[in-house]
Amino acid sequence: MLRKFLALLLLTTLVGACSRTPVHTDTPLGTLEGYVKDEVEYYLGVPYAQAPVGELRWRPPAPAQPWTGAREATENASICTQFSPVGGSLTGSEDCLYLNLWTPANKPEKPMPVMVWIHGGGFIVGQGSYFRDDGMRLAQREDVVVVAINYRLGIFGFMAHEGLTAEDPAHPSSGNYGIMDQTAALRWVRENISAFGGDPDNVTIFGQSAGGVSICAQLASPAAAGLFHRAVIQSGPCVSPMSSLAAVSKLGAQAQTQLGCDDVASPVACMRGKDTETIANTLPPDPTLGFGEGYTFWWPIKEPGVLPLQFMDAFTSGNFNRVPVIHGTTRDEATLLIWLSHNFRFKPLRAEQYMERLEYLTGSPELAMRVARQYPLENYASPYDALSESFSDGFFNCFGRRQAQAISQHVPLWNYQFDFDEAPFFIPWADLRAFHSAEIQYVMGKPMSFTRSNFKAEEQALADSMMGYWAEFARTGNPNGSGPNTWPAYDTRDQTLLFNLQNSVASGVHKTDCEFWAALPYLRAPYP
């Protein structure tokens, strides 16, 4: 049986390789050699910045250098250094500032919209694309150019330090290197995308989870002004506050001590001289992404250089990069996070842990008790169900509602909730319902499954609708296109599009739940 499987895998690989046709594109930096497959050009592992290693570690990204000859761009580059959620092993490389790009082989005369994907993963794991064809179906179906980027993670992407802050008097700040990487990738798009048939004056950024928070960061960052023209926030809890530069610099001081760099002439040079593994194991994050007691929490930083305002202060005041926005969440955001922290580790949530988890989420025994009274265990089939609903409402759906209300005061916004219970997942027996990240597969047109590459017939209509809405938004700034407006803009009518097998508009989604949460004086969210 194993031999048959391996033979089939080899045959599939050979057939896939044989179906590729080389293609070359000249860019301002040099010639790229990609390949054409299924009428889409693939360019994989394209550098948008220099490797942030050695003297470039913990510095703003430096522009990529030109090359001579044709640079091969046919395989994914290394992911950024991270601990795998599966097994917790260290993987990736600091040399990771690359992007993947998919563009239709038969290009229309008019330059195409560009859609830049920013991945999630709590700012500690993830990559722009997991497979070579992640953005292919969206590009193929909708005649758009799709770009997916890597950016620095964890301590490499978000550590601040007084010594780093003092290095450049013109930029007295540090941290947020991962956010600066994203902005650098957008500058690369502006300068290079026309070579691939894309329109540098029509760029949409879209991202989920930490990628959604990253979209908020690009909206709030003065450095990103003019680099994009539409934005899609998917499950990004941007109400969560950023820590101050001073607070995160204390983490930098802890790292300095743990790295043995206190009693040296230049602590920063000492830290830059340490190897990747040593740095990664200093103040490591929670590899399960959920309830990270005892681990370091990495997150964007409020500092004067890149993010001078808290996200909600920027959105409430209107002091952000004003572009049209699609915004939304999934109904059961927390199921995946709880499953990863408990069930995946063969430690299902127990009843006696319910209050512990609520206290961790709210940061207060008194607030945890109020939440437990609102979501009493006896009303649910299991502690998993109770925590899933309270966590989903309090830290995603109600955060999302507040964000939508604030942003929509200044720019057109369309709000959605992904509401489909039977979305595929790589582990088919996991009870996840409309889970955190479930909608990505329908936007990209490819199931989250190891066993099938296409959706069931009834699901394909859902995928077609989501791809169509996202791409039409990228084309025009309105997801409805020239047809009847089936997705109303968000305003005082409080209307949300529910994505499921029927797609319908509802008013006041989570309104009652969120009135309870709005009365709580809480701000902490444990997951990006």
pLDDT digits (tens, 9 = 90+) for 357-407: 999 899 899 999 999 999 999 999 999 999 999 999 999 999 999 999 999
Greater confidence, 1 or 356? 356
Where along the chain do its domains lie? 8-518
At position 336, the amino acid (one-letter code) is L
Q: Is there a catalytic annotation at residue 214?
A: no
Relative orientation angle of helices 334-341 and 383-392, to the nearest 10 degrees: 130
User: pTM for the whole thing?
Assistant: 0.95
The lowest-confidence range among 59-63, 403-407, 425-429 is 425-429
Confidence of residue 58 (pLDDT cuts 50, 70, 90): very high
Mean pLDDT of 479-491: 86
Options 41, 142, 303, 333, the catalytic residue? 333
Predicted confidence at residue 9, as pLDDT, reads 42
Exposed, middle or buried: residue 392 (CB in 10 Å: 0-12, 13-18, 19+)?
A: buried
| Contact (CB, 8 A) for 339 and 527 | no
Cα–Cα separations (whole angstroms), residue 117 to 186, 279, 470, 489, 494: 11, 28, 12, 23, 28
Q: Is the pLDDT of residue 526 over 50?
A: no
Predicted confidence at residue 303, as pLDDT, reads 96
Average pLDDT, the chain: 93
Which of 448, 428, 430 lies closest to 439, judged by CA?
A: 448
| Contact (CB, 8 A) for 519 and 501 | no
Options 119, 436, 437, 510, the catalytic residue? 436
Complete DSSP assignment for 7-57: HHHHHHHHHHHHT-EEEEEEETTEEEEEEEETTEEEEEEEESB----GGGT
Strands (E), 359-453: 413-418
Kindly report the three-state secondary structure assignment for every residue of 487-517.
CCCCCCCCEEEEECCCCEEEECCCHHHHHHH
Q: Is the pLDDT of residue 33 over 70?
A: yes
Strand partners, 23: 34
Q: Is the pLDDT of residue 504 over 70?
A: yes
Confidence of residue 288 (pLDDT cuts 50, 70, 90): confident
Mean pLDDT of 102-118: 97
Confidence of residue 294 (pLDDT cuts 50, 70, 90): low
Q: What whole-number percentage of the chain has pLDDT above 90?
A: 85
Greater confidence, 168 or 373? 373
Predicted confidence at residue 13, as pLDDT, reads 46
Query: In terms of CATH, what superfamily is 8-518?
Result: Alpha/Beta hydrolase fold, catalytic domain (3.40.50.1820)
Q: What is the pLDDT of residues 402-412, one digit of tens each?
A: 999 999 999 99
Which of 114, 189, 96 lies closest to 151, judged by CA?
A: 96
Distance CA 160, CA 176 (A): 8
Cα–Cα separations (whole angstroms), residue 470 to 383, 481, 487: 36, 10, 12
Q: Is there a catalytic annotation at residue 366?
A: no
Confidence of residue 85 (pLDDT cuts 50, 70, 90): confident
Distance CA 411, CA 124 (A): 31
Mean pLDDT of 132-140: 97
Mean pLDDT of 190-200: 98
Predicted confidence at residue 293, as pLDDT, reads 66
Mean pLDDT of 6-32: 72
Distance CA 362, CA 524 (A): 6
Predicted confidence at residue 76, as pLDDT, reads 97
Q: What is the pLDDT of residues 227-274, one digit of tens each?
A: 999 999 999 999 989 999 999 999 999 999 999 999 999 999 999 999
Q: Is there a catalytic annotation at residue 436?
A: yes
Options 129, 173, 174, 209, the catalytic residue? 209
Q: Is the pLDDT of residue 179 over 90?
A: yes
Best-predicted range by mean pLDDT (294-303, 341-350, 415-424, 482-491): 415-424
